[in-house]
Chain A
Amino acid sequence: MVEAILFYLFAAGVLVAGAQVIFRRNPIYGALSLVGCFFFLSGVYVLLGAHLIAILQILVYAGAVMVLFVFVIMLLNLKEEELGEQRITAWKGIGLAAVMVAAGVIAWRALGPAFPQGALVQAGRRVDNAVLIAGFGGVKAVGRTLYLASILPFEVTSLLLLVAVVAAVVVAKGKI
């Protein structure tokens, strides 16, 4: 019951903040709403038992990536007339609402049969363990998965980040 209340609270926060991102005309409001959206989303991650990912969400997304966004928005320093007029008309809003209802209904109806009791039932017992195994989603368990099962992608990710940093500097700096 507590989980249900928290889930609906966080879900409402995620959707309201996410809608603010695309409806606000000024990108700085959008960026700050996106930070709020990421915080609510990390709450949802905690409900799913993904504690390490929830912390990473706040550190990397809300901390690093969004600072980059806000920094660039302030660097560009757009004037009022450069923002352009509001492009989201009533018809686009209605279309968005229709798409969201359709996506929600499809996700609910199509995936409902796969999880008859909130989890897959196989051989008469719920596969989903109501009580998670100790350490699920913690640093140790996720670290073991990262370093044992997917060590190559992990190392390639570090290379990717290095390439991205160099590329960002090369592209953004006019003359090297």
Chain B
Amino acid sequence: MDFFHAHQAQHYLVLGALLFALGAAGVVLRRNAIIVLMSIELMLNAVNLTFLAFARFPLVANSPMGSFLSGHAAVFFVIATAAAEAAVGLAIIIAVFRSRTSVNVDEFDTLKL
């Protein structure tokens, strides 16, 4: 396993794993709701990277025509969903900030506004 000949699937998968770990740590450690949302974006991008790595280095030979880029299609949908998630999440943050004047997730402890 030559570590310095990059452009192997594992390099991209390891990078995806590290990025996912960073995003998960941000969600767990930080209390600022905006940073939690940004950490979720980091995790989604780690998943995208893994999708693209498997699209470039497929595990199955001779995948049928039209599906060899299905990883790219999945990434397309993830990007669209992440945009929707960011819009709704930030709207919720604004709504909560209006009633609580705080973005600290520890203070979001009631379902009633």
Contact = CB atoms under 8 A, between A and B. Distances in A.
Interface residues of A, number: 89
Interface of A: 3-4, 7-8, 11, 14-15, 18-19, 21-22, 27, 30-31, 34, 37-38, 41, 44-45, 47-50, 52-53, 56-57, 60-61, 64-65, 68-69, 72-73, 75-76, 78, 82-84, 87-88, 92, 96, 99-100, 103-104, 106-108, 111-112, 114-115, 118-120, 122-123, 127-128, 132, 136-137, 141-142, 144-146, 148-150, 153-154, 157, 160-161, 163-165, 167-169, 171-172, 174
Q: Say what secondary structure dominates the interface of chain B.
A: helix
Contacts of A19: 22
A163 B83 CA distance: 12
Contacts of A168: 87-88, 90-91
A103 B83 CA distance: 27
Interface of B: 1, 4-26, 29-32, 34-35, 37-39, 41-42, 45, 48-49, 52-53, 55-62, 66-67, 69-70, 72-73, 75-77, 79-88, 90-95, 97-98, 101-104
A155 B87 CA distance: 19
Contacts of B16: 107
Nearest to A78: B103
